[in-house]
Structure 1
Amino acid sequence: MSNLLARVAPLAVFGLALPASASPGDDAAAYLERIKALDDTGPQLNAVIVQADEQTARKEADDAANLPLGGRTVLVKDNIETREWPTTAGSLALAGNRTGRDAPLIARLRAAGGVVLGKTNLSEWANIRDGNSTSGWSAVGGLTKNPHAIDRNTCGSSSGSGAAVAAGFAWAALGTETDGSITCPASINGVVGFKPTVGLVSRTHIVPISHSQDTAGPMAQNVHDAAMLLTAIAGSDPADPATEDANEHKIDFAAALKGASLKGVRIGVMEKQIGTRKDVKALFDRALDDLKRAGAVLVPIDYDMPDKMGEAEFTVLLYELRTDMQSYLGSLPEPGMPKTLADLVAFNKAHADQELRWFGQRTFEQALKATDKPAYEKARQTSFDLAGPQGIDKLMADNKVAFLIAPTMGPAWTSDLVNGDHFSGNIGAGALAAIAGYPHLTVPMGDVDGLPIGLSIMSGKWRDADVLKAGAAYEAVRSAKLSPPSFEPWAPPPLD
Structure 2
Amino acid sequence: MKKCHSILSTPFWVSLLILGLFSCTTGGQVTEASATLIELEEITIADIQEAYAAGTYSIQTLTQAYVDRIAAIDDAGPMLNSVIIVNPDALAIAAKLDAELAAGKSRGPMHGIPVILKDNIDTHDKMPTTAGSRALANSFPLQDSYLVKQLREAGAIILGKANLSEWANFRGEMSSSGWSGVGGQTKNPYVLTRNPCGSSAGSGASVSANLAVVAVGTETNGSIVCPSHANGVVGIKPTVGLISRSGVIPISFTQDTPGPMARTVRDAAIGLAAMIGIDPADSKTLDSENKTYDDYTQFLNADGLKGKRIGIYTGPAGANFKVDSVFAEAVAFIKSQGAETIEIEDIAPRQVGGLSFEIMLFEYKDGLNKYFASLGPDAPVKTVEDLIAFNKQDDVELQYFNQKYLEMAQEKEDLTSVAYQETLAEMLRLSQEEGLDKVMEEHNLHAIVASTGSPAWTTDWVNGDHFQLGSSSPAARAGYPNITVPMGFVGELPVGMSIFGQAWTEPLLLEIAYAFEQGTKHRKAPKFLEKD
Which TM-score tier does this pair reach, normalised by the shorter chain? over 0.9
> 1: CA distance between counterparts of 2:297 and 2:303?
11
Secondary structure, in 3 states, of the residue corresponding to 2:341? strand
Q: After TM superposition, list the pairs within 5 Å mapping 1:329-368 onto structure 2.
A: 329-333=372-376, 335-351=378-394, 353-368=395-410
Q: Deviations over 1:143-170 (max 9, x none)?
A: 0000001111111210000000110000
The two structures have a TM-score, normalised by structure 1, of 0.93
Deviant stretches of 4+, over 6 Å: 12-17
Contact 2:302 2:518 in 1 (8 A): no
Seen in structure 2, the aligned counterparts of structure 1 residues 185 and 377 have a Cα distance that, compared at 3 Å, is same
Q: Of 54, 58, 69, which aligns to 1:23?
A: 58
Please state how far the C-alpha of 1:286 moved relative to its aligned partner.
1.0
Contact 2:17 2:69 in 1 (8 A): no
Please state how far the C-alpha of 1:31 moved relative to its aligned partner.
1.1
Find the counterpart in structure 2 of residue 473 from structure 1. Answer: 515
Please state how far the C-alpha of 1:428 moved relative to its aligned partner.
3.0
Does residue 117 of structure 1 match 2:177?
Answer: no
Q: Deviations over 1:103-154 (max 9, x none)?
A: 1111111111111000100000001100211110001100000000111111
> 2: CA distance between counterparts of 1:365 and 1:80?
23
> 2: CA distance between counterparts of 1:13 and 1:42?
16
Seen in structure 2, the aligned counterparts of structure 1 residues 118 and 143 have a Cα distance that, compared at 3 Å, is same
Q: Note the residue ranges of structure 2 that are not aligned, 5 or more in a row.
A: 1-11, 23-35, 40-55
Find the counterpart in structure 2 of residue 11 from structure 1. Answer: 16
Please state how far the C-alpha of 1:256 moved relative to its aligned partner.
2.7
Give, as a single letter, the amino acid of the residue that structure 1 aligns with 2:381. P
Identity percentage of aligned residues? 43
Contact 1:61 1:73 in 2 (8 A): no
Seen in structure 2, the aligned counterparts of structure 1 residues 294 and 63 have a Cα distance that, compared at 3 Å, is farther
> 1: CA distance between counterparts of 2:137 and 2:502?
39
Find the counterpart in structure 2 of residue 494 from structure 1. Answer: none
> 2: CA distance between counterparts of 1:9 and 1:393?
46
Secondary structure, in 3 states, of the residue corresponding to 1:263? coil
Does residue 321 of structure 1 match 2:364?
Answer: yes
Please state how far the C-alpha of 1:63 moved relative to its aligned partner.
4.2
Q: After TM superposition, list the pairs within 5 Å mapping 1:332-481 onto structure 2.
A: 332-333=375-376, 335-351=378-394, 353-371=395-413, 373-424=417-468, 427-478=469-520, 481=522
Secondary structure, in 3 states, of the residue corresponding to 2:304? coil
Contact 2:84 2:183 in 1 (8 A): yes
Contact 1:64 1:70 in 2 (8 A): no
Contact 1:98 1:334 in 2 (8 A): no
Find the counterpart in structure 2 of residue 4 from structure 1. Answer: none
> 1: CA distance between counterparts of 2:220 and 2:342?
29
Give, as a single letter, the amino acid of the residue that structure 2 aligns with 1:420. G
Contact 1:52 1:117 in 2 (8 A): yes
Q: CA RMSD in A?
A: 2.0
Contact 1:193 1:220 in 2 (8 A): yes
Find the counterpart in structure 2 of residue 218 from structure 1. Answer: 260
Give, as a single letter, the amino acid of the residue that structure 2 aligns with 1:67. R
Q: Which moved more, 1:24-33 or 1:82-91?
A: 24-33
Find the counterpart in structure 1 of residue 175 from structure 2. Answer: 133
Give, as a single letter, the amino acid of the residue that structure 2 aligns with 1:174. V
Please state how far the C-alpha of 1:299 moved relative to its aligned partner.
1.1
Seen in structure 2, the aligned counterparts of structure 1 residues 415 and 303 have a Cα distance that, compared at 3 Å, is same
Secondary structure, in 3 states, of the residue corresponding to 2:255? coil
Contact 1:8 1:166 in 2 (8 A): no
The two structures have a TM-score, normalised by structure 2, of 0.87
> 2: CA distance between counterparts of 1:419 and 1:121?
21
Find the counterpart in structure 2 of residue 42 from structure 1. Answer: 77
Find the counterpart in structure 2 of residue 98 from structure 1. Answer: 140
Contact 2:302 2:519 in 1 (8 A): no
> 1: CA distance between counterparts of 2:461 and 2:100?
42
Secondary structure, in 3 states, of the residue corresponding to 1:98? coil
Give, as a single letter, the amino acid of the residue that structure 1 aligns with 2:119. D
Aligned length: 481
Seen in structure 2, the aligned counterparts of structure 1 residues 73 and 45 have a Cα distance that, compared at 3 Å, is same
Find the counterpart in structure 1 of residue 325 from structure 2. Answer: 282
Seen in structure 2, the aligned counterparts of structure 1 residues 391 and 475 have a Cα distance that, compared at 3 Å, is same
Secondary structure, in 3 states, of the residue corresponding to 2:251? coil
Please state how far the C-alpha of 1:302 moved relative to its aligned partner.
2.2
Please state how far the C-alpha of 1:326 moved relative to its aligned partner.
0.7
Q: Which moved more, 1:329-338 or 1:72-81?
A: 329-338
Please state how far the C-alpha of 1:55 moved relative to its aligned partner.
3.1
Give, as a single letter, the amino acid of the residue that structure 2 aligns with 1:133. S
Please state how far the C-alpha of 1:62 moved relative to its aligned partner.
2.2
Please state how far the C-alpha of 1:486 moved relative to its aligned partner.
1.6
Find the counterpart in structure 1 of residue 28 from structure 2. Answer: none
Q: Of 107, 128, 131, which aligns to 1:67?
A: 107
Q: Of 144, 156, 167, which aligns to 2:186?
A: 144
Please state how far the C-alpha of 1:417 moved relative to its aligned partner.
1.0
> 2: CA distance between counterparts of 1:280 and 1:360?
32
Please state how far the C-alpha of 1:52 moved relative to its aligned partner.
2.5
Q: Deviations over 1:422-472 (max 9, x none)?
A: 112xx3321011110000000001110111101000010111111111111
Find the counterpart in structure 2 of residue 56 from structure 1. Answer: 92
Does residue 175 of structure 1 match 2:217?
Answer: yes
Q: Which moved more, 1:55-64 or 1:262-271?
A: 55-64
Q: Deviations over 1:362-402 (max 9, x none)?
A: 11111111227222222212222222111111111111111
